[in-house]
Amino acid sequence: MADVEVVVRDPGTGLFGFRVELGRDRAGSRMQARRGGFVTERAALAEYRRLCRQRDAQRPRLRLSDSVQTLCEDWLVGRVQQLQPNTVYNYRCLLSLIYPYVGRVRASRLSGRMVERAYQQLEAAGYSRTTLRTLHLVLGKAFSEQTGRSLGALKPRESDELRPVWTVDEARVFHKFVAGDRLYPLWRLLLTTGLRRGELCGLRWCDLEPDLAVLTVRRQRVVEDPTSRVREKPPKSHNGVRSLALDPMTLAVLNDVRPRAKKSLVSGYMFTGRQGQPLRPDNVTHRFNQLAVAAGVRPLGPHQIRHLVASNLLDLGYGIAEVAERLGHDPATLMRYYSRVNACRRRQAADDIAGLITPELDAGAGVLNAA
How are beta strands 208-209 and 230-233 bridged, if at all? unpaired
Which residues touch 318 (CB under 8 Å, ≥6 apart)? none
- Long-range CB pairs of 295-304 (<8 Å, 24+ gap) are 295/173, 295/174, 295/177, 295/178, 296/173, 297/166, 297/170, 297/173, 297/174, 298/164, 298/166, 298/170, 300/164, 300/165, 300/166, 302/190, 302/197, 303/196, 303/197, 304/163, 304/164, 304/165, 304/166
Q: What is the CATH number of domain 168-340?
A: 1.10.443.10
Which residues touch 73 (CB under 8 Å, ≥6 apart)? 95
The pLDDT assigned to 229 comes to: 81
Integer CA distances (angstroms), 127 to 59, 89, 98, 130, in order: 37, 18, 12, 8
Q: pTM for the full model?
A: 0.67
Per-residue pLDDT of the chain (371 residues; tens, 9 = 90+): 455 578 888 887 788 888 888 777 666 777 788 888 788 888 888 888 888 877 776 554 456 788 999 999 988 887 877 777 778 888 999 999 999 999 999 998 999 999 999 999 999 998 988 899 999 999 999 998 888 788 989 999 887 666 788 999 999 999 999 999 999 999 999 999 999 999 999 999 999 999 999 999 999 998 876 667 888 888 877 888 999 999 999 999 999 998 875 655 656 899 999 888 899 999 999 999 999 999 999 999 999 999 889 888 888 888 888 888 898 888 877 777 666 655 566 667 777 777 778 765 555 555 445 55
Strand partners, 243: 216
How many Å apart are CA 310 and CA 340, to the nearest integer?
A: 8
Q: How far is CA 81 from the centre of its chain?
A: 20
Judge contact between 220 and 201, C-beta under 8 A.
Answer: yes
Judge contact between 37 and 88, C-beta under 8 A.
Answer: no
Judge contact between 186 and 195, C-beta under 8 A.
Answer: no
How many Å apart are CA 285 and CA 344, to the nearest integer?
A: 31
One fold for 66-161 and 168-340: no
Name the CATH topology of 66-161.
Answer: DNA polymerase; domain 1 (1.10.150)
Question: Residue 334 carries which DSSP code?
Answer: I
The pLDDT assigned to 248 comes to: 93
Task: Kindly list the domain boundaries of the chain, sorted by start residue.
Answer: 1-60, 66-161, 168-340
